[in-house]
Chains A and B, each alone.
Chain A
Amino acid sequence: GQNIDQPTEMTATEGAIVQINCTYQTSGFNGLFWYQQHAGEAPTFLSYNVLDGLEEKGRFSSFLSRSKGYSYLLLKELQMKDSASYLCAVRGNWAGNNRKLIWGLGTSLAVNP
């Protein structure tokens, strides 16, 4: 089957660095996405990895290792507004006509002062 695993909850302190891990087992791989979702709001795109390595985007970075089926999202200089759920999603193979995203359940990050 297809599966994406993320920790359910994490806690960190304002100003610190936190790493949110994601492991996946999917039939095919065509890119991994990270989305941020504040409570009751829509997910918003953070990052995309399709090749191995680190993609940096301001305070956020995302890493991918396809051979290990592993990714992480690194958040630096944490701010209170970073308290949110972080969703990992993998674009797998075609399933019929659908290149759908397979979603993890999300990691709820609480940033404390």
Chain B
Amino acid sequence: EAQVTQNPRYLITVTGKKLTVTCSQNMNHEYMSWYRQDPGLGLRQIYYSMNVEVTDKGDVPEGYKVSRKEKRNFPLILESPSPNQTSLYFCASRKSGLAPLGTDTQYFGPGTRLTVL
């Protein structure tokens, strides 16, 4: 089954304790990205990756890091989480960031609800 998986699904942590949210896709997609979703602010892109070893900042990258060592995996790293990073996080993938036409549908992982105390 084609899917994007994220772990953990729920996490409560404390300020300053480094954490990693994993993301994996089995569709051989080149393009992956991380979003956070907050009430009244909608989906905001944190980081994206066009392919292996190619990553770049989205709209709200402060306080986050990513890596793309393999095509299928795109972990999100919070080196020193703060309460303002409490949010619902989604990993997403699509075939290619270069696809000019076609639906190039974006598939989302199930989400990670993070609470930073």
Contact = CB atoms under 8 A, between A and B. Distances in A.
Interface of A: 30-31, 33, 40-45, 48, 50, 87, 91, 96-101, 103-106
Contact of B103 (A43, A48, A87): A48
A87 to B, nearest CB: 7
Given A42-B90, A48-B103, A87-B43, A100 B111 contact: no
8 contacts: A33-B103, A43-B108, A45-B107, A87-B42, A98-B50, A98-B58, A99-B97, A100-B45
B35 to A, nearest CB: 8
Interface size class of B (residues with CB under 8 A): 20 to 34
Given A45-B106, A87-B42, A99-B99, 15 more contacts: A42-B111, A43-B43, A43-B90, A43-B108, A44-B108, A45-B103, A48-B105, A91-B104, A97-B54, A97-B97, A98-B58, A98-B97, A103-B44, A105-B41, A105-B42
Interface in B94-117: 97-101, 103-111, 113
B70 to A, nearest CB: 20
B40 A105 contact: yes
B62 interface: no
Nearest to B113: A40
Query: Is chain A's binding surface mostly helix, strand, loop or mixed?
Result: loop
Contacts of A42: 90, 108-111
A103 B43 contact: yes
A97 B90 CA distance: 21
B105 A45 contact: yes
Contacts of B58: 98, 100
B56 interface: yes
